[in-house]
Amino acid sequence: MPERSTVENLLDPTLPTWSVIDDIATVRAAQDAPAAAPVLAVGVQAADAGEPEEGVAGAGASAALRELGLDAAEVVTTHTPSASAGSVTTVPLTGSGVFGRVVLVGIGAGTSDDIRAAGAAVGRLTRDVRTLVVAFGAGEEGSLVEGVTLGSWTAPAWRANGPVRPSGPSRHVHVLAGIDVGVDAVALERSLIRCRATVIARGLGVTPSNIKNPAWMVTQARAVARRSGLTVRVWNDKELAAEGFGGLVAVGGGSATPPRLVQLDYSPRGATDDTRRIVLVGKGITFDTGGLNIKPGDGMVAMKTDMLGSAVVLAVLGACRALGVQVRVTGLLALAENQVSGSSYRPSDVITQYGGTTVEIGNTDAEGRLVLADAIAYAVANLSPDVLVDVATLTGAARLALARSMAAIFGTSDEVVEGLLGAGESTGETFWRMPLVDDYREALSSEVADLNHIAPGVGGGAVTAALFLEAFVGDVPWAHLDIAGPGRSDVDKGILAKGATGYGARALLAWLEGQQ
Kind of pairing between the strands at 407-411 and 431-433? parallel
Marked catalytic residue, from 124, 171, 321, 369: 369
Cβ-Cβ contacts under 8 Å for 98 (sequence gap 6 or more): 30, 31, 33, 35, 37, 40, 68
Cα dihedral value 175, 176, 182, 187, nearest 10: 0
Instruction: Please enumerate, as own/partner, the contacts of 85-92 that have beta carbons within 8 Å and a separation of 24 or more.
Output: 85/113, 85/114, 85/115, 85/117, 85/118, 86/117, 86/118, 86/120, 86/121, 86/494, 87/121, 88/121, 88/122, 88/125, 89/44, 90/125
Residue 171 annotated to the active site: no
The rounded distance, in Å, linking the Cα atoms of 275 and 470 is: 25
The rounded distance, in Å, linking the Cα atoms of 207 and 500 is: 10
Residue 488 annotated to the active site: no
Q: Nearest 5 degrees, angle CA 71-CA 72-CA 73?
A: 95
Marked catalytic residue, from 295, 441, 493, 498: 295
Where in 130-256 does DSSP place strands (E)? Answer: 131-135, 157-159, 162-164, 172-176, 231-235
Residues with catalytic roles:
295, 369
